[in-house]
Structure 1
Amino acid sequence: MSGRIDELSSVDRARRDARERAAQSDWMPYLPPSSAPFAPSDVAPGDLRWAETVPPGGYTHLRVARGTRIRLEDVTGDACAGLVVFNALAPHERLNVADTQKIPWQAYLGAGHPLLSGDGRVLATIAADTSGHHDAFCGTTSDAWNIAKYGDALPEGPTPSGHALLRLAASKHGLTSRDLPPAVSFFQGVRIDDDGTTRWLGSAGPGTSVDLLAELPLIVLLANAPHPVDPRDDYISGPLRVTAWTSKPTGEQDAVFSASPERQRAYRNSIAYAELAGL
């Protein structure tokens, strides 16, 4: 009998400890989202669908509806948001970085830039940007890179790789490492010089943000890990705030829709797909 009592006591202690940790955590999603202290002041509380702070070296994931607007915010100037998105209705359709650069004839990400799939559809649009320090060349850090630089890449360890974090996020949606395309990253920028050298820009500073508009239902994966060409020796990362609310997808009346013939075709492809799916 005493063994049973000790066992119950152990379970009770574990439960109490877990609940105390949850109450103290700064990284848990806010439920309801409108309770988040950083909820956007220009968004009606009833429209908020997601509010979370992703810790340094952490990740998050969620399915979002077409027309959802997602805001990423670099709180301290040290966040680096590695992003991959999938068509939630058919996850084999996913972010294609090459087409994301090719269709708008622009390799550097910024406001109005469409994020395309390999099927010629716009998955999301960068609806607003106060940072301008982003990257669509280098992807996120690999396990091998992290091991060489920091000595470890495990997602449970102190220096997780971006790819390890994205693998964990993908697994929540039945996806594997083979499903992951190269990521784009926000808040830590690079430029490619005339001689082909990758030049590190770093951050634009604390408090900058990027808004993404979902043009289709999406699976959104985010890894908050140092950029692959960050020259600093230490594993430096900062908190990443995420909020999302109900909005409207891009339509023919929007300037980004008709910015070029190539973009117009891509947006038309997304709209037709959504309408045929009854969205």
Structure 2
Amino acid sequence: MTTISEIDVRAKHLTDSVGNARADARAQGGRRSEWMPYLPASESPWCPDGVDPAALTWAETVAPGGYTHKVLARGSRLRLDDPTGDACAHVVLFNALEPVERLNVADTQKIPWQAYLGSGHPLLSGEGRILATISADTSGRHDAFCGTTTDGVVETKYGNADPHGPTPSGRSLFVKAAAKHGLTRRDLPPSVSFFQGVRVDGEGTLQWVGSAGPGTHVELIAELPLLVLIANVTHPLDPDPDYRVGPLRVHAWRGVATGPQDGRFTATPELHRAYLNSIDYCDARGIQ
């Protein structure tokens, strides 16, 4: 409970001594924002149906124009929810043990012979291993062609791409997230995005199809230990002249990676080989 003295200190924002600085810092401790991780994760008010809150390892609502990052164990389930229909989750994945291995969008489209992301689609690295599998999808509006927004695109359209400003670029937020894990902008590959769709017409032109509406979700299975970076920003092809993005809910919990008992494990020769490559990597390191 916030005391009268703490309220007083916070209002005055006194930091002119160690004692006042400590009181000021502690006065901020009781403050809450809807854009923050829930700690412990079990306190999330948005726990997905059928998931024991005690099993959650990550729960967060990402602000419009915000970003987040997390390391997840192999087998973890990662669920992204778009409650308003305006979220756009740009995602980059790395092998958490060796981040030089990262999402390869070309192989993600090539190996399953399918350019459009959806349930059952693998997200591959350039090493022929599956980093994650899309295990559920109620949106169907995603993109593996365009990547995220750059500073130049955002500055031209909205006037400012500052990562601390009201209209950040996805690239600038990814740079910040990557730095938290010792990575630089040169380590960042093209991303995929969820909840705002793109299709290719008969002439080969990219067509914006937008959102499927509020209340959709995507769920991923981590096939390797993952470093996940997410930027919740506008899509590069979004025609809206305003910077309109909605909140993004993120939850993760422990589970089991894809194995021979799953139909997708042997769905095609290419996928079978890629799953075997992921299992071989983990077996050599004693990872279940």
Following superposition, the deviation at residue 6 of structure 1 comes to: 7.1
| Matched residue, 2:259 | 251
Q: 2:71 aligns with which of 59, 63, 69?
A: 63
User: Which of residues 114, 125, 142 is equivalent to 2:133?
Assistant: 125
CA distance in 2, matches of 1:35, 1:115: 30
Residues 131, 6 of structure 1: alpha-carbon distance in 2 compared, 3 angstrom cutoff = closer
Partner AA of 1:158 in structure 2: P
1:138, distance to aligned residue in structure 2 (A) = 0.2
Q: State whether structure 2 residue 208 is matched by structure 1 residue 200.
A: yes
Residue of structure 1 in register with 2:25 after alignment: 15
Q: Give, in whole Å, the separation in 2 of the partners of 1:24 and 1:251.
A: 41
Measure, in 1, the Cα distance between the counterparts of 2:178 and 2:85: 26
- Identity among equivalent positions (%) equals 63
Instruction: Report the counterpart of residue 174 of structure 2 in structure 1.
Output: 166
Question: What number of residue pairs does the alignment pair up?
Answer: 273
Find the partner of 2:42 among 34, 42, 47: 34
Residues 109, 132 of structure 1: 8 Å contact kept: yes
Q: CA deviation at 1:10?
A: 5.7
In the alignment, does 2:238 pair up with 1:230?
yes
CA RMSD of aligned residues (A): 1.4
Cα deviation, residue 259, structure 1: 0.9
Mark the runs of 5 or more structure 1 residues left unpaired by the alignment: none
Whether the 8 Å CA contact 1:59–1:165 is kept in 2: the answer is yes
Work out whether residues 114 and 126 of structure 1, in 8 Å CA contact, stay in contact via their aligned partners in 2: yes
Take 1:11 and 1:89, find their aligned partners in 2: how far apart are those partners?
39
Cα distance in 1 for residues equivalent to 2:93 and 2:155: 26
Alignment of 1:150-161 (within 5 A): 150-161=158-169
3-state DSSP of counterpart to 1:148: helix
Counterparts of 1:54-203 in structure 2 under 5 Å?
54-203=62-211
Secondary structure in 2 aligned to 1:267? helix
* One-letter identity of the residue aligned with 1:161: S
Give the corresponding residue for 2:3: none
Q: Distance in 1 between matches of 2:15 and 2:54?
A: 46
Q: Which shows bigger deviation, 49-58 or 11-20?
A: 11-20
Unaligned 5+ segments in structure 2 are 1-13
Q: CA deviation at 1:43?
A: 1.1
Structure 1 segments, 4+ long, off by >6 Å, are: none
Q: What letter matches 2:134 in structure 1? A: I
* Whole-angstrom CA distance in 2 between matches of 1:179 and 1:48: 29
Cα offset, 1:14, TM superposition: 4.1
Deviations 1:44-70 (A, max 9, x none): 222111100000000000000000000
1:271 to 275, 279, 282: 279
